[in-house]
Amino acid sequence: MGNPRVIYWFRTDLRLHDSPALKAALDLNPDVLWPIFTWDPHYVYRAKGGVNRWQYLFDCQNDLSESITKLNPKSKLFVVREAPQTVMPKLFKAWKVTHLVFEKDTDSYGRERDKVVVDLAKKAGVKVISPYGRTLWDSDDLVVQNGGKPTMSITQLQAAGKKVGKIPRPLPAPKHLPDPGDMPLDFGLESPDPKPDVNAPLRDGKDQAYTSLAGPKGDFAIETLEELGFPAATTPHRGGETRALKALEHIIADEEYAATFQKPKTSPAAFRPQSTTLLSPHLHFGSLSVRLFYWRVQDLVDKYKGASSPPESLTGQLLFRDMYFAAQAAIGSPFVQTLNNPYVRFVPWHLPSKAEAGTETGTNAASGAYHVDTPQADQWFQRWKHGVTGFPWIDALMRQLRAEGWIHHLGRHAVACFLTRGGCYVHWERGADVFEELLLDHEPACNAGNWQWLSCTAFFAQYYRCYSPVAFGQKWDKEGALIRHYVPELKDLDQKYIYEPWKAPRAALDKAGVKVEGDGLGERRKGTYPEPMLDFGERRGVCIAAIKTAYSIGLHGNDQQVKDGTWRKLFEDAGEAEMEQFEGSDHDDDGEFADDAEQEARKGAGKRGAAKQGPMDKHVKRLKA
Ligand SMILES: Cc1cc2nc3c(=O)[nH]c(=O)nc-3n(C[C@H](O)[C@H](O)[C@H](O)COP(=O)(O)OP(=O)(O)OC[C@H]3O[C@@H](n4cnc5c(N)ncnc54)[C@H](O)[C@@H]3O)c2cc1C
């Protein structure tokens, strides 16, 4: 018998460096190795994905393919255009495969898909190897060490991590790769059902993703935006392992920045360059190994005097990522929603998701369909989504997100708080849905987990701390540079009014060539900016009182009353929440507790104040120079 004939299935790991799965494949000493990517219709039609993220994926695939070819000119990334669940058994047979190797995926769909593929491999006599490599620790091991429960805090994550063991050191990239074997395709293409296509509204051309198994030229080429019927991407951020490694080197080279990083001190208003690493899309696509990132920083921290520590530090940020992954690993598919999620508080938000019929144990958020309980809330939601709320700080961030696919963590805090508990009282699942489409770094676990945090439905409970859509931005960016860039209709407005244009006198507006009018939806007259859609001070009070009521009723997503609708009576019986006065800025959130939810003891100690110049600002200045 010859040596193994291995399919290496690239998915969440579009890199060659530090890939435990690729190492496992090469350790088999294969006769042949096919590096493949299956073009899965689930992601093409059933999961929301904006054009910018597709572009980023293609960047990663193209870069990876070139790197593979550098190691072996006969090889590259071979894209097979069919669902893995149907194409794999055909490949096993036609290519005489002995082993299938891939990096473990803990996302809900990933787990379902992999279970099907592993069963099919077993039936075909193909051995499967699938080590973890996407997180610092294996998320399933963390769950075991956390008593089978989701990790709901950094402290729990750190304790479980300690029991699992030391975070493995990164592995070097391979120096050569085996030849691919023959690739006969003596079988038909099983075309997917393109309906429902949740991405249809984004397409302006014909979708030709599935015309043949090996692509239009039969050479297993990487797809293009045109083939998917998408317009060109608008993001300046581009993907690929080569870029990711370069970006990491650049960050580590600034030792002070990397070693003393404190997330709450980084500015959400900084752009080009941004104040944090912007490595999240690379981590999402696996073009950067999270363990390489961790150890490069940790090694620096170990020898640096006065380094910062988790949760605010750079390694602390990576711990948050692992925390959400392990929370999702424990809870499974309900993690991304309220319904059936025992860890998420039930709040009767506006615009709730439509539950799929007959799915008491199933999902409700995935389709994005929702009930319009009040037209007002839907109008607020539409205005938020399209960056025309009339609050320039919120609009700048939402427009940055739409155009570029990335905004700073505290920017995400600001817009998420505003949509949910600090303004509109709209369901966090609506916001998560919009982020799912627009983020380059969209990660089901991190997105849902952070929305739960921001809406105070899980992970974080200080619902009386709200971000002001005016004062919070002003703290970081008095002159309104972010606003002037992303909301160009206000670019010439006096600094005094840039966060509150509705307060500007006629003369100031005339001088800036702008009129404040309308709701911003539909056709907007040139030179106009919308009126503010709500009175923030008033809405903050309403939201806080309503959440207080929800907390006192204390339902969670898996409670029977939530599933059968009898929650309504409980809330009616509780009556109108007493309108407490959570007046003024004492309760404004400046983000100084952004990573600090668990440190209750220190909660009251932090004083608000002007952002001080620190290594973060110096780093941004150095980058600008
Ligand atoms: C409402 C909301 C939704 C979010 N959705 C996502 C998402 O879909 N995908 C995603 O990766 N992050 C998400 N985040 C977390 C965070 O905002 C981003 O990871 C971070 O802003 C990415 O920028 P960066 O790479 O410069 O981060 P840095 O500050 O440089 O941090 C380094 C890395 O740590 C990880 N990280 C940092 N903060 C968090 C966090 N709070 N949760 C999880 N991981 C973190 C990221 O992988 C990041 O690349 C969300 C945050 C909020 C408030």
Phi-psi region of 357 (alpha: psi -120 to 50; beta: other; left: phi over 0): beta
Residue 18, C-beta contacts closer than 8 angstroms, at least 6 positions apart: 133, 170, 171, 172, 173, 289, 291, 292
User: To the nearest whole number, what is the mean pLDDT of the chain?
Assistant: 91
The annotation places the binding site for FAD at 276-280
| pLDDT tens for each residue of 330-357 | 999 999 999 999 999 999 999 999 975 4
Tell me: pLDDT of 579 over 70. Answer: no
Specify the pairing of strand 78-80 against strand 99-102.
unpaired
- Which pLDDT score is estimated for 533? 98
Structure tokens at 536: 């923030």
User: For 357-364, which contacts have Cβ atoms below 8 Å and span 24 or more sequence positions?
Assistant: 360/563, 362/333, 363/333, 363/334, 363/336, 363/337, 363/339, 364/337, 364/338, 364/339
The annotation places the binding site at 276-280
Residue type at position 175 = K
The mean per-residue pLDDT over the stretch 172-201 comes to 94
For ligand 1, whether the C-beta of 277 sits within 6 Å is yes
Tell me: pLDDT of 609 over 80. Answer: no
For ligand 1, what atom is nearest to the CA of residue 412? 53
Q: Exposure string (b/e) for 390-405, b if CB count within 10 Å is 16 or more?
A: bbbbbbbbbbbbbbbb
Tell me: pLDDT of 590 over 80. Answer: no
| pLDDT tens for each residue of 439-465 | 999 999 999 999 999 999 999 999 999
For ligand 1, whether the C-beta of 276 sits within 6 Å is yes
For ligand 1, whether the C-beta of 321 sits within 6 Å is yes
| pLDDT tens for each residue of 196-206 | 999 999 999 99
Please name which of 506, 505, 511, 415 lies closest in space to residue 468, comparing C-alpha atoms. 415
Q: How far apart are CA 117 and CA 84, in angstroms?
A: 7
Structure tokens at 454: 């921001």
Centre of ligand 1 from the C-alpha of residue 325, in Å: 12
DSSP structure class, residue 136: S
Residue type at position 582 = F
Tell me: pLDDT of 358 over 80. Answer: no
For ligand 1, whether the C-beta of 412 sits within 6 Å is yes
For ligand 1, whether the C-beta of 465 sits within 6 Å is no
Asked if residues 328 and 551 have their Cβ atoms less than 8 Å apart, the reply is no
| pLDDT tens for each residue of 79-91 | 999 999 999 999 9
Q: How far apart are CA 625 and CA 243, in angstroms?
A: 21
Shortest-distance Cα residue to atom 43 of ligand 1: 321
Q: How far apart are CA 550 and CA 543, in angstroms?
A: 10
Shortest-distance Cα residue to atom 22 of ligand 1: 280
Centre of ligand 1 from the C-alpha of residue 469, in Å: 21
Residue 101 has phi, psi (to 5 degrees) of -125, 135
Residue type at position 347 = V
Shortest-distance Cα residue to atom 21 of ligand 1: 409
496 burial level (CB within 10 Å; 0-12, 13-18, 19+)? exposed
Centre of ligand 1 from the C-alpha of residue 345, in Å: 22
Residue type at position 530 = P
Please name which of 200, 191, 210 lies closest in space to residue 230, comparing C-alpha atoms. 200
Mutation probe of ligand 1 site: the residue of 447, 450, 453, 620 with most atoms within 8 A of C-beta: 450
Res. 525 pLDDT band, cuts 50 70 90: confident
Mutation probe of ligand 1 site: the residue of 322, 385, 441 with most atoms within 8 A of C-beta: 441
Cis amide prior to 236 (ω within 30 degrees): no
Helix axes of 154-164 and 314-331: crossing angle, nearest 10 degrees = 80
Q: How far apart are CA 293 and CA 382, in angstroms?
A: 38
Structure tokens at 438: 């627009």
The mean per-residue pLDDT over the stretch 575-604 comes to 47
Length of the chain: 625
What distances in angstroms separate CA 310 from CA 155, 250, 433, 451, 504, one per listed residue?
10, 22, 29, 21, 43
Centre of ligand 1 from the C-alpha of residue 409, in Å: 6
Q: How far apart are CA 16 and CA 553, in angstroms?
A: 51
Residue type at position 225 = L
The mean per-residue pLDDT over the stretch 353-364 comes to 58
Options 3.40.50.300, 1.25.40.80, 3.40.228.10, 3.30.70.120; CATH of 135-173+242-331+593-619: 1.25.40.80
Interface pTM (ipTM) of the complex?
A: 1.00
Other CB atoms within 10 Å distance of the CB of residue 292? 18
Centre of ligand 1 from the C-alpha of residue 443, in Å: 9
Domains 135-173+242-331+593-619 and 333-588 share a fold: no
- Which pLDDT score is estimated for 578? 26
| pLDDT tens for each residue of 299-321 | 999 999 999 999 999 999 999 99
Beta sheet of 32-38, edge-to-edge order: 78-80, 32-38, 5-9, 99-102, 127-129
DSSP structure class, residue 295: H
Tell me: pLDDT of 207 over 50. Answer: yes
Residue 348, C-beta contacts closer than 8 angstroms, at least 6 positions apart: 546, 550, 567, 568, 571
Asked if residues 35 and 177 have their Cβ atoms less than 8 Å apart, the reply is yes
- Alpha helices by DSSP H, 124-254: 139-145, 154-164, 241-253
How far out from the chain centre does Cα 332 lie? 17
Residue 353 has phi, psi (to 5 degrees) of -65, 150
Q: How far apart are CA 431 and CA 447, in angstroms?
A: 10
Q: How far apart are CA 175 and CA 159, in angstroms?
A: 37
- Which pLDDT score is estimated for 224? 97
Helix axes of 51-71 and 241-253: crossing angle, nearest 10 degrees = 90
Asked if residues 436 and 481 have their Cβ atoms less than 8 Å apart, the reply is no
Tell me: pLDDT of 607 over 50. Answer: no
Rg (CA), the chain: 25
Residue type at position 573 = D
Q: How far apart are CA 128 and CA 501, in angstroms?
A: 60
**Stretch among 195-204, 280-289, 493-502, 568-577 having the lowest mean pLDDT:** 568-577
Cis amide prior to 196 (ω within 30 degrees): yes
Tell me: pLDDT of 603 over 70. Answer: no
For ligand 1, what atom is nearest to the CA of residue 416? 1
Centre of ligand 1 from the C-alpha of residue 278, in Å: 9
- Which pLDDT score is estimated for 352? 94
Asked if residues 596 and 311 have their Cβ atoms less than 8 Å apart, the reply is yes
Asked if residues 541 and 579 have their Cβ atoms less than 8 Å apart, the reply is yes
- Which pLDDT score is estimated for 275? 98
Centre of ligand 1 from the C-alpha of residue 317, in Å: 7
DSSP E strand stretches across 272-397:
none
3-state SS assignment for residue 9:
strand
Q: Longest C-alpha distance within the chain, in Å?
A: 86
Please name which of 267, 270, 264, 350 lies closest in space to residue 314, comparing C-alpha atoms. 264
For ligand 1, whether the C-beta of 385 sits within 6 Å is no
Centre of ligand 1 from the C-alpha of residue 405, in Å: 12
For ligand 1, whether the C-beta of 397 sits within 6 Å is no
Please name which of 469, 497, 134, 178 lies closest in space to residue 328, comparing C-alpha atoms. 134
Tell me: pLDDT of 13 over 70. Answer: yes
Structure tokens at 401: 């997100």
Specify the pairing of strand 5-9 against strand 99-102.
parallel
User: For 221-224, which contacts have Cβ atoms below 8 Å and span 24 or more sequence positions?
Assistant: 221/79, 222/37, 222/58, 222/61, 222/62, 222/65, 222/77, 222/79, 223/39, 223/58, 223/79, 223/81, 224/58
- Which pLDDT score is estimated for 95? 98
Instruction: Report domain extents, the chain.
Output: 135-173+242-331+593-619, 333-588
Strand partners, 370: 353
Domain 333-588 has CATH 1.10.579.10: yes
The mean per-residue pLDDT over the stretch 455-481 comes to 96
Q: How far apart are CA 594 and CA 483, in angstroms?
A: 22
Q: How far apart are CA 606 and CA 471, in angstroms?
A: 17
